[in-house]
Amino acid sequence: MSTETLRAVVRSPVAPLFDEPRVSSVQISQLLAGHPVELLEEHEGWCCVQGADRYEGWMHRGYLYPRDDASAHTRLSLGCVVTRAGVRSALPLGAYLAHDDVLASGETIDVADQASHFPRDAAAITCTARRYFEGTSYLWGGVTPWGADCSGLVQTTFALHGVQLPRDAWQQASAGVPGDGDLFAAREGDLLFFTDREDGHVTHVAISLGDRAIVHLALGRGGFGVERLDDVEDPYVGMLVQRFARARRVL
């Protein structure tokens, strides 16, 4: 492959990113329509790619346009259905519409208006997490309201507000600056990290709502949840409090 960096753009509404170059491998993340990737390696139709978060994984070439035309995308999906050449397609939150997409239903915004629609402040960020991800099922490697994991919720929500975070919870635990060591003192918008491992490796992340509450996507809840951390009657909450590792402040 040339030493020049090759690029492509995701063509499918949701394109799975795999741990290995085979379809039976583990899905480790997803990339969405219109988002550019760097092509690092290719093997029998499979491409090792990096998205904007620099996270590496394998994606089949069938999910990609072999060109970097991301600048042509001027509208962002907030969850919509479009038609293209008479064919309907659903686009999740965070995907870009192609120039020939016609909105059939749902909501979009101009990319130029994203910063004003999604301001970079804690209250707006927690509102986005609750509004768009309520009812979402837990899906390992997922990043959309169609199915997401804990760090996928965090990454997508903050990215909409102009804050690019790493993909996995343990990577996000190094972002920003240390937050308060007291879980109950966390500010709205802080990232809260938890571990169920003896070595302390981070395995879960939530967004603080302030006032001893969090929003997250948790396997133990089957998906989206808003928790009161002082709910002493709930055994799941008690377990979560015991597993608190640290807080980080990224705003």
Answer yes or no: are the C-beta atoms of 160 and 94 closer than 8 Å: yes
**What size, in residues, is the chain?**
251
Nearest to 192 by CA among 147, 123, 244: 244
pLDDT at 67 over 80: no
- Report the C-alpha gap between 223 and 110 in whole angstroms: 30
pLDDT of residue 85: 87
The residue to which tokens 């996928």 are assigned: 152
pLDDT band at 89 (very low <50, low <70, confident <90, very high): very high
Long-range CB pairs of 111-120 (<8 Å, 24+ gap) are 111/73, 111/74, 111/75, 111/76, 112/74, 114/76, 114/160, 114/162, 115/162, 118/160, 118/161, 118/162, 119/161, 120/161, 120/162, 120/163, 120/251
Q: Is the pLDDT of residue 68 over 90?
A: no
Classified as helix, coil or strand, 179 is: coil
Nearest CA among 58, 51, 70 for reference residue 16:
58
Phi, psi of 96 (to 5 degrees): -100, 140
Fold exhibited by the domain 6-70: SH3 type barrels. (2.30.30)
Higher confidence at residue 233 or residue 5? 233
pLDDT exceeds 80 at position 14: yes
Give the pLDDT of residue 70.
55
Q: Measured between alpha carbons, how far is 136 from 147 in angstroms, rounded to an integer?
A: 6
**What dotted CATH number matches 118-249?**
3.90.1720.10
Is residue 4 very low, low, confident or very high in pLDDT (cuts 50, 70, 90)? low
In the chain, pLDDT over 90 holds for what percent of residues? 92
> What pLDDT is attached to residue 128?
98
**Every domain of the chain and the residues it spans:** 6-70, 73-110, 118-249
Average pLDDT, the chain: 95
